[in-house]
């Protein structure tokens, strides 16, 4: 890809699209993890600037403490009382039946009766004879 314009460099953006950029607008950034120093230099001009980030190390570390439903942030802030969100025991439920067909109750809740009755009260007509089904030409 040729370019006849002076001080242009070929770059790619974050999506991988290739484009020509003015070399005077480009900067090189490097970071040294050993001493937490950020170095900034122009791609086409000699000289660098360095910034020490050492003072920022650990500056945003926070310790959270939860004691007796009180949430506290190490470096200040208003403690938050979470006791209204605990609702201890409210999710414990006991499901029971009294032996009546379809009767279900929940402790401190509602009672419901499910319809489990056989409409014709004839239990034998619910049975299927596989030989009869197959002899009628049906698949099983």
Q: How far apart are CA 64 and CA 72, in angstroms?
A: 6
Residue 77 belongs to some domain of the structure: no
Q: State the pTM of this model.
A: 0.29
Residue 37 belongs to some domain of the structure: yes
Q: Are 1 and 10 in contact (CB under 8 A)?
A: yes
Residue 3 belongs to some domain of the structure: no
Residue 51 makes CB contacts below 8 A (sequence gap 6+) with 37, 38, 39, 40
pLDDT tens digits for 35-59?
Answer: 888 888 876 667 777 888 887 776 7
Residue 122 belongs to some domain of the structure: yes
Residue 36 belongs to some domain of the structure: yes
What are the φ/ψ torsions at residue 137 (nearest 5 degrees)?
85, 15
Residue 44 makes CB contacts below 8 A (sequence gap 6+) with 7, 23, 24, 26
Proportion of the chain above pLDDT 70, given as a percent: 73
Q: Are 72 and 59 in contact (CB under 8 A)?
A: no
Domain count across the chain: 2
State mean pLDDT over 80-86.
Answer: 84
Over 60: is that where the pLDDT of 89 sits? no
Which tokens hold the place of 3? 């370019």
Residue 18 belongs to some domain of the structure: yes
What are the φ/ψ torsions at residue 24 (nearest 5 degrees)?
-70, -15
Q: Please, what is the Cα angle at 18 between 15 and 20, to 5 degrees?
A: 130
Over 80: is that where the pLDDT of 63 sits? yes
Which tokens hold the place of 49? 């600037």
Q: What domain range includes position 126? A: 95-133
Please state, rounded to an integer, the average pLDDT across all residues of the chain.
Answer: 77
Residue 49 belongs to some domain of the structure: yes
Residue 73 belongs to some domain of the structure: no
């Amino acid at each position: 890809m040729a370019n006849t314009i002076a001080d242009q460099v070929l770059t790619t953006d974050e999506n991988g699209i290739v484009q020509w950029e003015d070399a005077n607008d480009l900067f090189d950034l490097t970071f040294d993890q050993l001493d937490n120093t950020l170095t900034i230099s122009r791609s086409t001009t000699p000289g660098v600037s360095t910034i020490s980030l050492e003072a920022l190390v650990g500056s945003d570390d926070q310790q959270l403490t939860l004691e007796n439903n009180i949430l506290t942030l190490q470096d200040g802030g208003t403690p938050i009382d979470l006791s209204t969100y605990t609702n201890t025991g409210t999710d414990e439920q006991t499901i029971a039946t009294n032996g009546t067909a379809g009767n279900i109750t929940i402790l401190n809740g509602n009672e419901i009766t499910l319809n489990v009755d056989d409409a014709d009260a004839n239990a034998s007509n619910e049975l299927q004879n596989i030989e009869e089904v197959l002899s009628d030409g049906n698949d099983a």
